[in-house]
Structure 1
Amino acid sequence: MRLRHPDGTPVHLAYCSNVHQAEDLDGVLTQLAAYAEPVRERLGVDRLGIGLWLARDIVTELVGDERALGRLKSELGARGLETVTLNAFPYSGFHREVVKKDVYLPDWTHQARLDYTLDCARVLTALLPDDARRGSVSTLPLAWRTPWPAERANTARRALDRLAAGLAALERETGRPVRVGFEPEPGCVVETTAQAVRELGGLDPERLGICLDACHLAVQFEDPGAALARLAAAGLPVVKVQASCAVEAVDPADPAARAALGRLAEPRFLHQTRTRLAAQGSWDASGVRGEGAARGVGPRIPRQRGVAAGEEADGTGFAYGTWHPNGPGGSGGARQSDRQPGGSPDGPRSVKTPIGYGALPDGTILGVDDLPDALAGGLPADRGPWRVHFHAPLHAEPEPPLRTTASQLTAVLAELLGGPVAGCDHIEVETYTWSVLPRPPADLAGGIAAELAWARDRLTGLGLKEETS
């Protein structure tokens, strides 16, 4: 769907095809017929945006075979679909039985990631509608946070310079500009907007920027207005917004909430979980981020007995470890499964002596890498809400007493598009978790259509006008 901002900017609204299990071209074309076209028909629109996820093997075929590329473009047009954005975060195998941290491979220290991203951009230049101003490609935020010594960071930075040069050359060749957006995600080298400024600042803003995932922003308890102001001040454009919602347990000690969370703790995808401290307690620093994480622009957070806490621009911090509900020396805190300290070249370490978390100020974010770790005792259940990286349908509430962070997504859209100037022109609904919901829908096309209608209504409520072809 297309909408127009009051300043005249065309805004593209799409849904992401990574919800569909297809890793060859025939499979992609089948999904366009089975789901994307029915979604368009449910919405009653002549033209529907689809953000394609094309696995590495498909992209290789499309780059090397003009007939295959023409076949995909023809199918999109025949079914009333258009593509202005690609999701190049997953490389392949996104619907394997177990994905978890493999989704971050290869990362930006590997040539394969650069090659794949540039190939995706090349494919997109051929798929873009003739009147589209530009295309966008989203990618991972450099790598999983561990290990991340200086050598790997420098390798990634050189790859980003080559990426910008490659995009510029592609535009000269095709006349079609494509921007790449790095998507901050919990647990990665870049998981917050403050880290984005630190790690990605100074890149070519004409080619590179941020893909802002509203679910990830909510999981990290970031304020949308402050986050977007931080990016703007650093000259990092929002290339693309992924319209998504996290799951929140307001009272994670509630047995009903824990039971509902347990039904979301499935084996395929990683569900990073965070809480924000609001009271006294004790916390074990096992597995906390290493010294590489303790850099920031806000007030320094005290470290005691090996704790290394990251700092955010608003003065809050974050750390990884194990919560001890019975206080210093208490038992009952399960250890986190991933104990590798980010930024440390020396491998895993364990700080076995719990510290009073009064050493960490209110507002500190505590995190574990997966929901089962939190449920096993890795996070406090009585000191604040939990937010879970589980992309929940935009239009529907999860099992009570859980809720979604839809209000945060609404705030993100308002900050970007509710003012006199459009802050982004590509919006992609990205709920890839339909198949792992406790009750997967019998009518997937109907659910996707309902999500897009929800997003469209929020945008028109901000003054955007829906366009008809």
Structure 2
Amino acid sequence: MNRLCYCTNVHPAEDLPGILDQLDSYAVGVREALGVDRLGLGLWLAAEAAAGLAADSSARTKLRSELDARGLDVLTLNAFPYGGFHAEVVKLAVYEPRWTDRRRLKYTMDCATVLTDLLPDDAPYGSISTLPLGWRSPWTDADDTACLDSLAELTRSLRGTPIRLAVEPEPGCVLDTVADAVAWLAARVDPEYVGICLDTCHLAVSFADPVGTVEAIRDAGLQVFKVQASSALHVDDPATARDALAEFAEPRYLHQVRELRPDGSVLKADDLPEALDRLPGEGPWRVHFHVPLHAAPDKPLESTNHVITEVLRAVEPDRTVEVETYTWNVLPHRQQNLVDGIAAEMAWAAGEIQ
């Protein structure tokens, strides 16, 4: 089975007719541009669409048929954004509802029902990526307990199915880094059903060692169920690159920034405008802005593609790899159309898979 796919959260539709229209407009074109008979998808379903499909088995059968007719295979679902992912301003709203809220549990269980029926027959498993519990504040011990209870209930519903939950650490959240996620999950969840979604942009922003991170996940008895192949912005000398960085400060999404200090510690800012105002800019920056895999940003900015390469060489060879550049539509000076751009990203990622 081809384990490479691209995430459809780059497209805005949140109802089934709109999703199919976008697959016709973009995914089919990507498949044709790549010259392949089948194209893998990481499907994003907003909560309302997931609930409708989960409640109607005939609708799931019809969707599977529509996907087959287009040469599209759903390998994974992205259940991080609950809805409204293409609103004018998303920012912190993307982390709601948290895993303390029963709506998050229901949404994820709905996604599991849908993915079970959409997954290709030869797929060893299907992954659902989810947020790292919620934004870091406010957060209490009672919130921890509520999350564990919900994850335990979800796990019970997944037993006997091929569906796995992949928790996706993200800067600024309760599980800010992969190390945070490993420490929180290890010995608290069933590792057969709950593991890690390793987003390589988020990993790069944390300045963590890619190979050491994969080894730490494995040593803790957890699994990487999904790699999100995504690249962050990097700049060695942010003090001399303020104008170039400012072009990426856009109003829709949160773009967390980390600055590496000489002693190895990391300074933090929750968004790029805050970083430009407050961080000293004396060490290199990594910015949570998913930039296209195949096209390096203009100097003095760089991408962190090397992190993707190192992770893909370290993880198990059958892991799902999802290209997730949801920021195509907010890139400054975008020149490439979306079909050609996604196809070029997929071709780049395919070349990195061993």
Q: TM-score, normalised by structure 1?
A: 0.74
Instruction: Decide which of 148, 151, 169 is 1:184's aligned counterpart.
Output: 169
Give the deviation of 1:423 after TM superposition.
5.1
- State the match for 1:201 in structure 2: 186
Contact 1:274 1:365 in 2 (8 A): yes
Distance 2:202 2:162 in 1: 27
Contact 1:13 1:428 in 2 (8 A): yes
Give the deviation of 1:458 after TM superposition.
1.1
Distance 2:141 2:236 in 1: 39
Q: What CA RMSD, in Å, does the superposition of the two structures yield over aligned residues?
A: 1.1
Distance 2:8 2:332 in 1: 21
Distance 1:200 1:18 in 2: 26
Contact 1:219 1:274 in 2 (8 A): yes
- Answering whether residue 209 of structure 2 is matched by residue 232 of structure 1, we say no
**Structure with the greater alpha carbon radius of gyration:** 1
Distance 2:336 2:179 in 1: 41
Deviation digits for residues 306-347 of structure 1, max 9, x if unmatched?
A: xxxxxxxxxxxxxxxxxxxxxxxxxxxxxxxxxxxxxxxxxx
- Answering whether residue 276 of structure 2 is matched by residue 379 of structure 1, we say no
- State the match for 2:114 in structure 1: 123
Give the deviation of 1:68 after TM superposition.
2.4
| Matching of residues 20-39 of structure 1 within 5 Å | 20-39=11-30
- State the match for 2:247 in structure 1: 263
Amino acid at match of 2:168: E
- State the match for 2:314 in structure 1: 415
Deviation digits for residues 38-94 of structure 1, max 9, x if unmatched?
A: 000000011110110000110111112233222221111011000120000000000
Distance 1:407 1:258 in 2: 24
- Answering whether residue 107 of structure 2 is matched by residue 132 of structure 1, we say no
| Matching of residues 144-293 of structure 1 within 5 Å | 144-168=135-159, 171=160, 176-202=161-187, 203-254=189-240, 257-278=241-262
Normalized per residue, which structure has more helix?
2
| Matching of residues 260-339 of structure 1 within 5 Å | 260-278=244-262
Contact 1:211 1:238 in 2 (8 A): yes
Give the deviation of 1:201 after TM superposition.
0.9
Contact 1:441 1:447 in 2 (8 A): no
- Answering whether residue 302 of structure 2 is matched by residue 403 of structure 1, we say yes
- Answering whether residue 354 of structure 2 is matched by residue 453 of structure 1, we say no
**Count of aligned positions:** 353
Q: Which runs of 5+ in 2 are unaligned?
A: none
Distance 1:366 1:131 in 2: 45
Deviation digits for residues 414-462 of structure 1, max 9, x if unmatched?
A: 112xxxxx35520100000000001234510000000000000111xx3
Contact 1:19 1:434 in 2 (8 A): yes
- State the match for 1:100 in structure 2: 91
Deviation digits for residues 375-419 of structure 1, max 9, x if unmatched?
A: 11x21112x110000000000011221010011111111112xxx
- State the match for 1:431 in structure 2: 325
Distance 2:58 2:218 in 1: 41
| Matching of residues 56-95 of structure 1 within 5 Å | 56-95=47-86
Give the deviation of 1:229 after TM superposition.
1.2
Contact 1:434 1:441 in 2 (8 A): no
Distance 1:210 1:246 in 2: 19
Instruction: Decide which of 246, 269, 280 is 1:368's aligned counterpart.
Output: 269
- State the match for 1:283 in structure 2: none
Give the deviation of 1:206 after TM superposition.
1.0
Between the aligned residues of both structures, percent identity stands at 55
Local SS of the residue matching 1:275: strand
Distance 1:18 1:68 in 2: 21
Shifted more, 56-65 versus 232-241: the winner is 56-65
Amino acid at match of 2:10: V
Distance 1:218 1:204 in 2: 27
